[in-house]
Amino acid sequence: MDFILPLAVLVIAGLLAGLAAGMLGVGGSFITVPALYWVFVNFYGIDETIAIRAAFATGLAVVVPTALSGVYGHNKSHNIEWKSAVTAGITGFFGGLAGAYAATVLDGEILRFLFAGLLAVTAIRLFLDQRKKEGGIPVYDPFVLLAGGFITGIASGMFGIGGGVILVPFLIVIVGFPTKKAVGTSSAYILFSAAGGIIMYLFRGIGAGVYLPFPSAGYISLLHFAVLAMATVTMANAGVFLNRKFNEKVIRVIFIILLIFSALEMIRA
């Protein structure tokens, strides 16, 4: 019976992450990573440093099927600027490689607090952006997108996030995207940044001979990946539907609340 509680925690986290992914253009890892870390430490007794790396790696792997489901819905709604997504995604892939490598050499406690700080700063920056009006198509600036894609990719790989929690505010505040376009474009970008991080977590985990007390590949828990992936994909299209129904300001507020909640949970863990 001991397996029921951690399973329930991950299913609920997966459902919420899928909803957030479709609605907010994120991978959902800012929900799944704290849940995975809590399960790994409290139910499996895994060392904190290994646990946080495994949580980042597994959360990042879950991002791919979740993002694919969200991309399908956002593309139908014409909310993806594909040229911008691919441009940022090219450097995002290499940033993901670099970030994941850094995560495999840094101490777990440092990673946990850096992750919490990243979420909090992103929430504050998005809250402080007080532009009165949203709309229109932003000017395509490849240099800004390449730079933003690489920086976001580093955070993606290092913290096991798809990168949407950074790229969505970046596209809104810096590039000038309307919120819904930023959400949709971010969903497509995530596929690139996540791929880079996943590859590095696989090879670094296998190379280090990391042992996890469940089926795994490198730092990625295959068991928990399967549970979370089924839950997130189930809810991703529901999130896309809500994205169409809610106005821009409501989506921003929900995004900010979830970021702050997840940051507090990582500090408290």
pLDDT tops 60 at residue 130: no
Q: Residue 129 — very low, low, confident or very high, per pLDDT cuts 50/70/90?
A: low
Residue 98: predicted pLDDT: 95
Render pLDDT for 23-45 as a digit per residue (tens, 0 to 9). Answer: 776 667 888 998 999 999 999 99
Render pLDDT for 255-264 as a digit per residue (tens, 0 to 9). Answer: 788 778 778 8
Are 142 and 83 a contacting pair, CB within 8 Å? no
Mean per-residue pLDDT, 163-181: 85
Residue 132: predicted pLDDT: 46
- Could you give the dihedral angle defined by the CA atoms of residues 111, 114, 116 and 121, in that order, rounded to the nearest 10 degrees? -160
Residue 116: predicted pLDDT: 84
Residue 58: predicted pLDDT: 96
DSSP the chain: -TTHHHHHHHHHHHHHHHHHHHHHSS-SHHHHHHHHHHHHHHHH---HHHHHHHHHHHHHHHHHHHHHHHHHHHHHTT---HHHHHHHHHHHHHHHHHHHHHHTTS-HHHHHHHHHHHHHHHHHHHHH---S---SPPP--HHHHHHHHHHHHHHHHHHT--SHHHHHHHIIIII---HHHHHHHHHHHHHHHHHHHHHHHHHHHHHTT---SSSEETTEEHHHHHHHHHHHHHHHHHHHHHHHHS-HHHHHHHHHHHHHHHHHHHHH-
Give whichever of 10-24, 182-196, 238-252 has the largest mean pLDDT.
Answer: 182-196
pLDDT tops 60 at residue 214: yes
Mean per-residue pLDDT, 115-121: 82
Mean per-residue pLDDT, 197-222: 92
Q: Residue 135 — very low, low, confident or very high, per pLDDT cuts 50/70/90?
A: low
Residue 95: predicted pLDDT: 95
Sorted by where each begins, the domain ranges of the chain are: 4-268
Q: Does 129 or 163 have the greater pLDDT score?
A: 163
Mean per-residue pLDDT, 65-94: 90
Of 49-53, 175-179, 202-206, the poorest mean pLDDT is in: 175-179
Least Cα distance to 256 among 139, 120, 144, 142 occurs for 120
Mean pLDDT, the chain, as a whole number?
A: 85
pLDDT tops 50 at residue 136: yes
- The predicted model scores a pTM of 0.82
